[in-house]
A and B are shown apart, each in its own frame.
Chain A
Amino acid sequence: MNFSTLLRHFREGTKNVFRNGWMSVASITSIIVSLFILGVFILVVLNVNKFADQADSQVQISVYLKLDVNEKARETLQNEIGMMPEVSKVTFIPKEQGLEEFRKKLGPDGKDLLDGYQKGDNPLPDKLKIEVKEPTTVPALAAKIEQLNNSHADKPILKVNYGKGTVETLFKITKMIRNVGLIFVAGLGIMSMFLISNTIRVTILARRREISIMKLVGATNQFIRWPFFIEGALIGLIGSLVTVGIILFGYNQIEVWAGSRLGVMFKLVSLNDIWLLLSGLLVGLGLLIGIWGSTVSIRKFLKV
């Protein structure tokens, strides 16, 4: 194939998109719809994942100490726990700070409730806050710390608390969300492939006459295939670029909106971190679907 023929294929492929007006619009629309659903779902899954990660990382163990534990015994205990391989950080929270945090947590409504308690009569115990490397190890680690209590003569630990039950449920839910999300993304991907290839198949069915005429004047299969290939790629490209535009703009708006409302509690996955990957994925998928749809569908009409 010489260069001017290649140019001709590009020209014809591009022209065909316009010549087939509504058929092209139908193909492009179905690509936009499928990729949009897929893109939105990927964003949802990414955010749920991030949320799950944040929730997981907030799982920690609180070790409450007996009121009469002295500083030295407390430091020994703190060191022993710190040495455990599962533990990433141990923070001592004196009861004054605990009261302060408790106040904050209750908010303005609960302020009166704690007003009576001052420095001298603070009812709260001292606490060791233990952060872990891997959230799933929490229940076992908590048991291990309770065991530790027995090795000390004065049994300095009052109580080990990690939200038993709640933590296990949280793990179950986040794991489920991740798996279901993955299955959904895969399913949507396959579904959109079928939807799009079907649309393209219909457009090509309408053009089988065209293909048979090309064959009659002596066009080789390669010659017939090229413009279809270009046309498919172009339709995929247009469809995916429109989708990427809509999704990036929309997500940006949501991010701005959420930033002012959700505050620091939970942050959405930042657009800056994912836009390139997401756009690349959607455009790549669009191209692939467009090309695949058009070349596979003409194959059976080429055998004459």
Chain B
Amino acid sequence: MGSDFVIEMQDVWKTYPNGTHALQGVTVKIDRNEFVYVVGPSGAGKSTFMKLIYREEVPTKGQISVNGFNIGKLKHRKIPYVRRNIGVIFQDFRLLPKLTAYENVAFAMEVIEAPKRLIKKRVMEVLDLVGLKNKANSEPSQLSGGEQQRVAIARAIVNNPSVIIADEPTGNLDPETSWGIMQLLDEINFRGTTIVMATHNKDIVNTMRKRVIAIEQGNIVRDQVRGEYGYEF
């Protein structure tokens, strides 16, 4: 497809085997360095939208390109290499439970077979960036929710991905901690990383004004620069 955009979807449909039409002809372009909120009611297709970007799901119809790769047509053994250029953050953090914060972040670099010395330097660097340098040797169970999410963010950015996909990153956190996470994401965006974030947090969307894409019943119903949340919940 050879797109100049970081993410480009062209008439994308997704129908699950059980017959659910999660997405029905979505077309969207997300440019380099953008910060995009994806909002909408539960079950409207937000998660599917996100999963299609990091190739957890394949579109039933249509084309998706991420970093210039046609994601839908990707061969299985190529998937890992595309994912290395996409950082993913989840509501439930998804850290490896028996590894320390350091090891969790280092893992993403070991996967790409980075030299050990470089790993050490870079991991400490990003742990410092997320404010957890002094908790490098703690396991997830010893960290608070906010701290775990910071480790997850450190892991997502350690390989300098061009885009970060965040699926309700503040969903499990109290408001104060959420703001800390948002400031961190904002800074990462400021440094040049595209961020696509699905969220139900009205306060955050309305305070930190960014592009807002609203999805309802599998369609994009609203796409605003510096938009608002637009729902009561």
Contact = CB atoms under 8 A, between A and B. Distances in A.
A220 interface: yes
Interface in A1-45: 1-2, 4-5, 8, 19-20
B83 A223 contact: no
B98 A216 contact: no
Contact of A217 (B82, B97, B108, B116): B108
A8 B80 CA distance: 19
Contacts of B97: 210
Interface in B91-105: 94-98
B83 A216 contact: yes
Contact of A213 (B56, B77, B84, B96): B96
A215 interface: yes
Nearest to A20: B98
A4 B117 CA distance: 11
B175 to A, nearest CB: 27
B56 A304 contact: yes
A220 B115 contact: no
Nearest to A223: B111
A218 B94 contact: no
B108 A218 contact: yes
Given A19-B98, A213-B94, A213-B96, A218 B112 contact: yes
A220 B96 CA distance: 17
Contact of A216 (B77, B88, B110, B112): B88
Nearest to B83: A218
Contacts of B46: none
A114 interface: no
Given A213-B94, A213-B96, A219 B111 contact: yes
B115 A4 contact: yes
Contact of B116 (A4, A20, A213, A220): A4
A89 B82 CA distance: 81
B161 to A, nearest CB: 9
A215 B96 contact: no
Chain A, interface SS category: helix
B110 A8 contact: yes
B232 interface: no
Contacts of B80: 215, 218-221, 223
Interface in A48-82: none
Which residue, B94, B115, B155, B159, has most C-beta atoms of chain A within 10 A? B94
Which residue, A214, A217, A218, has most C-beta atoms of chain B within 10 A? A217
B3 to A, nearest CB: 21
Which residue, A5, A209, A219, has most C-beta atoms of chain B within 10 A? A219
A217 B113 contact: no
A214 B82 CA distance: 14
B101 to A, nearest CB: 14
Nearest to A12: B110
Contacts of A214: 96, 107, 111
20 contacts: A4-B115, A4-B116, A5-B110, A5-B113, A8-B110, A213-B94, A213-B96, A214-B96, A214-B111, A216-B54, A216-B94, A217-B84, A217-B88, A218-B80, A218-B81, A218-B83, A218-B159, A219-B80, A221-B77, A223-B80
Listed from nearest, the 8 A-B pairs whose CB atoms lie closest are: A218-B84, A218-B83, A19-B98, A217-B108, A219-B111, A218-B80, A220-B80, A5-B113
Interface of B: 54, 56, 77, 80-84, 88, 94-98, 107-108, 110-113, 115-116, 155, 159
Interface of A: 1-2, 4-5, 8, 19-20, 209-210, 213-221, 223, 304
